Each structure stands twice: as C-alpha cells, then as structure tokens.
Amino acid sequence: MKNKRQPNIHSEYDRNFSFHPWNVMLVLFLIAITGLFIALSAAFVYSRFEKGVEPIPIPWLFGFNTLILLSSSWTMLQAKKFYQIDDTALYQRNLLYTILLSLLFLVMQVIAWNQLFSQDIFLDPSNNGANYLYLLSGLHFAHVIAGLPFLWLFYQAAIRNMKEPITVLVYFSDPEKRLKLRLLSIYWHFLDLLWIFLVLFLLVNFLLK
C-alpha cells in the first residue's frame, strides 16, 4: 500500500514547492544558458554565410559522448524513481552511476579535443570555425563540471544519512531533499538535451558547407 500512496504524497510536495525560490532560480538560470547558446549558434551561422567561415568536422567521439550523457540521464531518472519508492541501495547506486558516467563524459571530451589537436585544429583567430566548435563544446563542458559538486554532495548526504531505519525514513520524507533532487534531475536532463542540440547543430553545419 505504501508504494501506491507515495506518488500522491510526492505530487503534493511538488505542488507546494512549485514556486519555491530554487525553482524560480533554476528556470531563470536555464533560460540564461539557453539564450547564451542560441546567441553563439546564431553568431556561427551568421559568420558562415556572411564571412565564409568554414565549419569543422566534429570528432566521432562527440557521438559516443552523446550515448554517455544519455546513459547518465537514465541513471538520474532511476535514482529519482528509487527515491520515490524508498529503495535506499538502488537510489545511492544510481546516483553513483550518474557521477561516474559524467566523469567519463569529461574524460572522453578531453580525448575528443585531443583528436582535433592531432589534426592541427586549434583555437586560432584566423579559424573561426574551430573557435566556435571549441567555445560551444567548452561551455557545455564547464556546465557539466559546475553540476558535479552538487551531485557529489547529494550522493554523500545520501550515504551519510541512510545508515539506520530512522535516518532513512527522515531522509526520504524530507520534501526539501525531494525538491533538490528534482532540480538536479532537471539540470542534468537539460545538459543532455543541450549536448544533443550542439552535436546535431555542428554536424548539420558541416554537412551543408
């Protein structure tokens, strides 16, 4: 019976915290990030057609990194799912998987940039195509790094506060922690969607040169 009632309780928490300042701040932050990437993408398109800037072929690892990020998004969904049904072990495990997949993405992204370096494609005032590629992917890289400390603190809090039945009950019944997990999940899914957009945008620009 507990599992049947739990979604209703969580839904009530969601409604109560809909206009929480953290919710508003995250929405504004995501709007700002979206605006930044749209502006840079538009500037790249303008440079292509007005100044004859040639796009750069993206490394194949960009596609592999997309799969890594999608996997991290799935494990984040799983963490939220197991939080809702009070499954301590699987909740903690999926948070850890999300951290490890995100770290793997960062490592593979550095390797992808090294592939470009090996082709003598560097940041160069005379090569705006390369500059845009590094700028767009580098900004996304920075936002993944910015989110990792929050994910790590969330994982550490889960480990620290889930040692006894009483502390587990308190942790799972805390609406503020549920709100934080929801916001963290939204941010992580947003980064995944942003990366997919960037890869498709850069690929289409190269194919249509």
Does the pLDDT value for residue 3 go beyond 50?
A: no
Q: Is there a contact between 112 and 159 (Cβ–Cβ < 8 Å)? A: no
Q: For residues 171 and 204, give the distance between their C-alpha atoms in angstroms, rounded to a whole number.
A: 46
The answer to whether residue 40 sits within a structural domain is: yes
Q: For residues 115 and 153, give the distance between their C-alpha atoms in angstroms, rounded to a whole number.
A: 33
> What share of the chain has pLDDT > 90, as a percent?
58
pLDDT at residue 170 in the model? 76
The answer to whether residue 188 sits within a structural domain is: yes
Sign, Cα dihedral of 122, 203, 136, 99: negative
Residue 124 makes CB contacts below 8 A (sequence gap 6+) with 130, 131
Does the pLDDT value for residue 4 go beyond 60?
A: no
Q: Encoding tokens for residue 157?
A: 């809090």
Does the pLDDT value for residue 7 go beyond 60?
A: no
- For the entire predicted model, the pTM comes to 0.86
pLDDT top residue among 87 and 73:
73
81-97 as b/e, with b when 16 or more CB fall inside 10 Å? ebbbeebbeebbbbbbb
Residue 131 makes CB contacts below 8 A (sequence gap 6+) with 123, 124, 125
Reduced to 3 states (helix: H, G, I; strand: E, B; else coil), residue 119 is: coil
Mean pLDDT within 133-151: 95
The answer to whether residue 13 sits within a structural domain is: no
* CATH number of the CATH domain containing 110: 1.20.120.80
> What share of the chain has pLDDT > 70, as a percent?
90
Q: For residues 101 and 80, give the distance between their C-alpha atoms in angstroms, rounded to a whole number.
A: 16
Average pLDDT, the chain: 87
**pLDDT interval class at 209 (50, 70, 90):** low
As for how many domains the chain has, the answer is 1
The answer to whether residue 189 sits within a structural domain is: yes
pLDDT at residue 194 in the model? 97
Reduced to 3 states (helix: H, G, I; strand: E, B; else coil), residue 18 is: coil
pLDDT tens across 157-191, in order?
888 877 777 777 777 778 888 888 899 999 999 99
pLDDT tens across 13-67, in order?
555 556 678 888 999 999 999 999 999 999 999 988 888 878 888 999 999 999 9
The answer to whether residue 182 sits within a structural domain is: yes
The answer to whether residue 12 sits within a structural domain is: no
Q: Name the least confident of 71-80, 137-146, 168-177, 192-201.
A: 168-177
Domain range for 140 is 2-7+18-207
Q: For residues 67 and 167, give the distance between their C-alpha atoms in angstroms, rounded to a whole number.
A: 36
